[in-house]
Chains A and B, each alone.
Chain A
Amino acid sequence: MNAIAEALFVAEPFQAAGDIVIDCNVNNIFYGDFLAVRDSTVPIEKKKITGFIGPSGCGKSTVLRSLNRMNDLISAFRFEGSVMYHGQDIYAKKVDPVVVRRYIGMVFQQPNPFSMSIFDNVAFGLRLNRFKGDLEERVERALKRAALWKEVKDKLKNSGLSLSGGQQQRLCIARAIATEPDVLLMDEPCSALDPIATRQVEELMLELKQNYTVALVTHNMQQATRVADTTAFFSVDISRGGRTGYLVEMGPTRQIFEAPREQLTKEYISGEFS
Chain B
Amino acid sequence: MSDIDSTSRLEGAFALPQLDYQALEPRALKSGFLTSLTWIAALLASIPLFSVIYMLLAQGGTRLFGADVVEVLTGLPPAGFEIGGGIGPAILGTLVMVGIASAISVPFGILAAVYLGVLDPTSKIATTSRFLAKVLTGFPSILAGVFVYAVVVIHWGYSALAGGVALAVLMLPTLVLAAEEAMAQVPQKMKDAAYGMGCTQTEVIWKVVLPTGLPGILTGVMLAVAGAAGESAPLLFTALFSNYYISELAEPTASLSILIYNFSGMPFENQIELAWTASLVLVLIVLLFNILARLVGRPKV
Where the two chains meet, the residues of A that have a C-beta atom closer than 8 Å to any C-beta of B are 68, 70, 73, 98-103, 105-106, 108, 110, 112-117, 124-125, 128-129, 157-160, 172, 175-176, 179
Q: Mark B187-211, 1 if CB is under 8 A from A, else 0.
A: 1011011111111100100011001
Decide if A98 touches B200 in the complex (CB within 8 Å). yes
Where the two chains meet, the residues of B that have a C-beta atom closer than 8 Å to any C-beta of A are 187, 189-190, 192-200, 203, 207-208, 211-212, 299, 301
Decide if A128 touches B197 in the complex (CB within 8 Å). yes
CB of B224 to closest CB in A, whole Å? 24
Decide if A115 touches B190 in the complex (CB within 8 Å). yes
Q: For the complex, give the distance between the alpha carbons of A199 and B192 in Å.
A: 25
Q: For the complex, give the distance between the alpha carbons of A160 and B187 in Å.
A: 15
Task: Given A128-B207, A158-B301, A159-B301, check contact A112 B192 (CB 8 Å).
Answer: yes
Q: For the complex, give the distance between the alpha carbons of A14 and B203 in Å.
A: 39
Task: Given A114-B208, A115-B299, A128-B203, check contact A108 B189 (CB 8 Å).
Answer: yes
Decide if B301 touches A112 in the complex (CB within 8 Å). no
Contacts of B211 in A (CB 8 A): 115-116
The 4 A-B pairs at the shortest CB distance, nearest first, are namely A102-B198, A106-B196, A112-B189, A101-B198
Task: Given A112-B189, A116-B301, A157-B301, check contact A98 B196 (CB 8 Å).
Answer: no
Q: For the complex, give the distance between the alpha carbons of A73 and B203 in Å.
A: 15
Contacts of A160 in B (CB 8 A): 301
Contacts of B197 in A (CB 8 A): 101-102, 105, 124-125, 128, 175-176, 179
CB of B194 to closest CB in A, whole Å? 7
Decide if A70 touches B195 in the complex (CB within 8 Å). yes
Task: Given A114-B208, A115-B212, check contact A73 B195 (CB 8 Å).
Answer: yes
Q: For the complex, give the distance between the alpha carbons of A68 and B195 in Å.
A: 10
Decide if A68 touches B196 in the complex (CB within 8 Å). yes
CB of A16 to closest CB in B, whole Å? 25
| Among candidates B193, B195, B299, residue contacting A114 with C-beta atoms closer than 8 Å | B193
Decide if B189 touches A98 in the complex (CB within 8 Å). no
Decide if A98 touches B199 in the complex (CB within 8 Å). yes
Decide if A101 touches B301 in the complex (CB within 8 Å). no
Contacts of B196 in A (CB 8 A): 68, 70, 101, 105-106, 108, 176
Q: For the complex, give the distance between the alpha carbons of A157 and B208 in Å.
A: 17
Q: For the complex, give the distance between the alpha carbons of A99 and B211 in Å.
A: 23
Q: For the complex, give the distance between the alpha carbons of A115 and B299 in Å.
A: 9
CB of B120 to closest CB in A, whole Å? 10
Decide if B198 touches A112 in the complex (CB within 8 Å). no
Q: For the complex, give the distance between the alpha carbons of A68 and B197 in Å.
A: 10
Decide if B301 touches A108 in the complex (CB within 8 Å). no
Q: For the complex, give the distance between the alpha carbons of A114 and B299 in Å.
A: 13
Contacts of B200 in A (CB 8 A): 98
Q: For the complex, give the distance between the alpha carbons of A113 and B207 in Å.
A: 13
Q: For the complex, give the distance between the alpha carbons of A125 and B248 in Å.
A: 48
Decide if A128 touches B301 in the complex (CB within 8 Å). no
CB of B264 to closest CB in A, whole Å? 47
Contacts of A175 in B (CB 8 A): 193, 197
Q: For the complex, give the distance between the alpha carbons of A117 and B300 in Å.
A: 9
Decide if B198 touches A172 in the complex (CB within 8 Å). no
Could you list some 8 contacts between A and B, CB below 8 A?
A: A70-B196, A73-B192, A98-B200, A101-B195, A102-B197, A102-B198, A112-B190, A115-B190
